[in-house]
């Protein structure tokens, strides 16, 4: 294919399994300290100021050469909007969720969309679309297993994940927490799509076999992600699913959710994942630390390894580290372009 595509066209074509002019290079969460400083952003303001957020996130495209722009900068918005305690981190540390609810009936979602952080995501999505119409704007959202874990407490989720499988009463409670998580997921997804999102990027970090057993993921996680994914597809939007850790035992489940792209960590072998995922495009696997301290040779080798393994887009294993250096990010996107030139002509 010789006609040059815009970044947005390239990402959407990849998600729709259509030909691309070159393989897209995409990012998940990104809160790169150097771009925050360069764009005049400051902590914690860039978490709640849409203009500042887009100025920082936009540099992942304008400077680093990514094909997508990602807002917001962490997996805390859903939790903070529900009134849970959140540690706002620092310029190098993403915010993290601390609190949880005692009972499902304590969760109140009526005012979710009025929360200032949720509104910042929506405003930033609109703004990014207006400023960068040729780039894929992919809001970064928390998947249902992870959100249910925020609601009930992540330790309780982990513990109940194996006990509930043969305890009907515990399963009823799990179902209750998950149905609230899905209600919030749907509210937020719908609002992001209304704001112009090109695709939704879900991290369902807590669905990892590191935290819940694969049987639980298949019985509870997959149906929840699929339900959310079907809702998103009904609104005409594609979505991506990221799960951390060694996901080999659950790739088949991830692929069955209907996600348009699976994102995996460096803990897994790309070839093996691609084989299990079948037709579903896979991205990820590039060691994030490469962007902080990798040499040119290492970055190029690591990038090529993922693409040679069958990845349909180049992506880091987890989010882009805060201490990533712009020169390394550019080496990475350059390596993807070079690989594509060789393979696609
Ligand atoms: Zn991850």
* Separation CA 142–CA 231 (nearest Å): 15
Secondary structure (3-state) at 94: coil
* Separation CA 217–CA 16 (nearest Å): 26
Ligand 1 centroid from CA 318, angstroms: 4
Ligand 1 centroid from CA 71, angstroms: 16
Q: Output the pLDDT for position 2.
A: 56
Backbone angles phi and psi of 212, in degrees to 5: -125, 150
What b/e readout covers 250-271, taking b as 16+ CB neighbours within 10 angstroms?
Answer: bbebbbbbbbbbbbbbbbbebe
* Separation CA 111–CA 80 (nearest Å): 12
Backbone angles phi and psi of 63, in degrees to 5: -100, -50
- Domains along the chain with CATH numbers: 7-344 (3.20.20.210)
First to last CA, the chain: 8
Secondary structure (3-state) at 168: helix
Ligand 1 centroid from CA 204, angstroms: 8
Secondary structure (3-state) at 115: coil
Q: Output the pLDDT for position 10.
A: 98
Which residues have CB less than 5 Å away from ligand 1 (the ion)?
244, 318
pTM: 0.97
Sign of CA dihedral 245, 250, 254, 255: positive
Ligand 1 centroid from CA 233, angstroms: 23
* Separation CA 145–CA 105 (nearest Å): 18
CA 316 to chain centre: 11
Ligand 1 centroid from CA 317, angstroms: 6
Ligand 1 centroid from CA 265, angstroms: 6
Ligand 1 centroid from CA 319, angstroms: 7
From the list 241, 258, 239, the residue with the least C-alpha distance to 197 is 239
Ligand 1 centroid from CA 224, angstroms: 19
Ligand 1 centroid from CA 320, angstroms: 10
From the list 197, 193, 203, the residue with the least C-alpha distance to 231 is 193
Ligand 1 centroid from CA 284, angstroms: 9
Element (H, E) at 140: strand 140-142
Ligand 1 centroid from CA 16, angstroms: 23
Report the DSSP pairing between strands 282-284 and 86-87: unpaired
Other beta carbons less than 10 A from residue 337's beta carbon: 14
The tens digit of pLDDT for each residue in 256-265 reads 999 999 999 9
Ligand 1 centroid from CA 285, angstroms: 10
Q: Output the pLDDT for position 228.
A: 98
pLDDT profile of the chain (345 residues), mean per 10: 86 98 95 97 97 98 98 97 96 95 96 98 98 98 98 96 96 97 98 98 97 97 98 98 97 98 96 98 97 98 98 96 98 98 90
Backbone angles phi and psi of 201, in degrees to 5: -105, 110
């Amino acid at each position: 294919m010789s006609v040059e595509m815009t970044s947005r066209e390239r990402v959407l074509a990849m998600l729709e399994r259509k030909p691309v002019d070159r393989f897209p290079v995409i990012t998940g969460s990104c809160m790169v300290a150097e771009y925050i400083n360069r764009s005049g952003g400051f902590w914690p303001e860039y978490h709640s100021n849409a203009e500042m957020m887009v100025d920082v996130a936009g540099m992942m495209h304008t400077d680093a050469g990514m094909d997508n722009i990602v807002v917001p900068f962490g997996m805390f918005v859903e939790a903070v909007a529900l009134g849970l305690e959140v540690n706002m981190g620092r310029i190098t540390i993403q915010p993290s969720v601390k609190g949880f609810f005692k009972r499902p009936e304590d969760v109140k979602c009526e005012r979710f969309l009025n929360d200032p952080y949720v509104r910042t995501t929506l405003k930033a999505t609109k703004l990014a679309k207006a400023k960068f119409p040729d780039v894929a704007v992919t809001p970064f959202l928390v998947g249902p297993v992870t959100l249910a874990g925020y609601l009930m407490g992540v330790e309780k989720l982990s513990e109940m994940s194996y006990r509930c499988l043969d305890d009907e009463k515990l399963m009823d409670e799990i179902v209750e927490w998950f149905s609230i998580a899905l209600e919030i997921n749907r509210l937020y997804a719908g609002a992001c799509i209304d704001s112009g999102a090109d695709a939704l990027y879900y991290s369902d970090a807590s669905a990892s076999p590191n935290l819940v057993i694969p049987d639980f993921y298949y019985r509870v996680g997959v149906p929840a992600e699929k339900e959310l994914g079907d809702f998103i597809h009904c609104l005409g939007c594609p979505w991506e699913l990221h799960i951390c850790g060694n996901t080999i035992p659950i790739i088949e489940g991830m692929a069955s959710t209907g996600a348009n792209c699976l994102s995996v960590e460096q803990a897994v072998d790309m070839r093996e994942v691609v084989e299990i995922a079948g037709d579903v495009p896979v991205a990820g696997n590039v060691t994030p630390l490469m962007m902080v301290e990798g040499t040119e040779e290492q970055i190029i080798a690591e990038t090529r390894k993922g693409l040679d393994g069958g990845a349909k887009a180049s992506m880091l294993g987890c989010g882009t580290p805060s201490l990533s250096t712009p020169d390394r990010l550019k080496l990475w996107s350059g390596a993807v372009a070079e690989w594509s030139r060789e393979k696609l002509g």
